[in-house]
Amino acid sequence: QFTNRLFAVGTGDNRNTLYASDILDAEIWKSTNSIIVGGDDGQDIVAIQPFFNYEMIVFKPSKIYIVTVDPTATTAAGWTVRLVNDRIGCVAGGSVAYAGKDVFFLANDGIRSLARSLADDYFVVGVPVSEAIKDLIARINRNFLGKCVGQFHNNRYYLSVPLDSAVVNSHTIVYNLLFSAFEGYWGIGASAMYETNFSAGYNTTGP
């Protein structure tokens, strides 16, 4: 949900198309409220993430786009699409998490942040946030990257991944944004993670 609309990504041949509902009406999806993002780049959209200033971040496997969703535009023709990096992308849609004033995601070479990726250019790509634990990142089972999921909570980015021969997520990596450092990893694998406002009521056999 963003700018009083619902957004979705197409399937099949339309996997590079971003769709939006009418403003304040989730049941009306007009063709004029859709836009092809990088249609000639040969890559499908992996994830979308609302950002600042009416900007929607669109991730592909090796590219990042910003779509400015102008709420005053009557159709998607009034939106703008900007390629911000054509060498870095996201390999696991579930890993994308809005974290403070940044967005974290799993790229082909490790955990990256949007802020750092925007600072890079087409010729110089900085090191991933996870450079300090690249030996652990190398253990992620690349055949099951799509299983990886991330979430932000309490100034930390949590990324659950399948390590070594695991075919489902087996461990969760914890990164502390306040200290810009990894705190370690848990021997707990999550297929999904959601932040709640629940403060009590859980026990070892609870959900």
pLDDT tens-digit readout, 19-40: 999 988 999 999 999 999 988 7
Mean pLDDT of 160-179: 97
pLDDT of 122 reads 54
* Confidence band for 199, pLDDT divided at 50, 70 and 90: low
pLDDT of 119 reads 67
Query: Token digits for 96?
Result: 């994308």
Average pLDDT value for the chain: 89
Nearest to 45 by CA among 5, 79, 93: 93
184 forms beta bridges with 174
pLDDT of 207 reads 42
Asked whether residue 131 carries a pLDDT value surpassing 90, the answer given is yes
Half-sphere exposure of 180 (CA within 13 A, CB side): 7
pLDDT tens-digit readout, 38-57: 887 889 999 999 998 899 99
Model confidence, pTM = 0.88
Residue for token pair 């989730």:
26
pLDDT of 28 reads 92
The burial class, CB within 10 Å (0-12 / 13-18 / 19+), for 140 is buried
User: Considering Cα of 154, then 156, then 157, then 160, what sign does the dihedral take?
Assistant: negative
Pairing state of beta strands 17-20 and 63-68? Answer: unpaired
Half-sphere exposure of 48 (CA within 13 A, CB side): 23
